[in-house]
Amino acid sequence: MTPRRLRGATARGAAGPARPRLREVLRRIPGEYRLSVLDEPEGDGDSGEHCLATLRNYRSLMPMAQDARKPIFDLTAADGAIGSHAQLARTCESEFGSLALRILERCGLM
């Protein structure tokens, strides 16, 4: 018996843009958040003020981080993050740093 491949489970195809199923799920998140978490009716304005960050998928760095047993934003050339992977690790560090600062601000700790 061969395992079934789930359609739309990944953000990008082999070389293509985001798949339609994922785009649909991402499009529905703000309305569902507004309804389920904020207990407000769907469609009343934008829930963007509640969005802390939108992080990209760092799937190319994940195996390196797992092998190195460290977070993806701490990867170095010694861990195999060279060239574009090194740049992506720096971008990741910046994005997670911004997210951490926004969380601290929202908690009133900064």
Verify that 44 and 75 share a domain, yes or no: no
Q: Residue 6: pLDDT above 50?
A: no
Q: Give the pLDDT confidence score for residue 12 in this predicted structure.
A: 47
pLDDT bucket at 46, cuts 50 / 70 / 90? low
DSSP assignments along 38-91, one per residue:
S---TTSS--GGG----PPP-TTTHHHHHHHTS-GGG--GGGT--THHHHHHHH
Give me the number of domains the chain comprises. Answer: 2
In a domain, 7, yes or no: no
**For the residues 93-98, what does the mean pLDDT come to?**
94
Q: Residue 60: pLDDT above 80?
A: yes
Verify that 57 and 108 share a domain, yes or no: yes
pLDDT bucket at 26, cuts 50 / 70 / 90? confident
Separation between Cα atoms, residue 61 and residue 85, nearest integer Å:
7
Which domain, by its residues, includes 80? 52-110
Q: Residue 47: pLDDT above 70?
A: no
What is the percentage of the chain residues whose pLDDT exceeds 70? 77
Q: Residue 99: pLDDT above 90?
A: yes
Higher pLDDT, 2 or 98: 98
Verify that 73 and 62 share a domain, yes or no: yes
Q: Give the pLDDT confidence score for residue 3 in this predicted structure.
A: 43
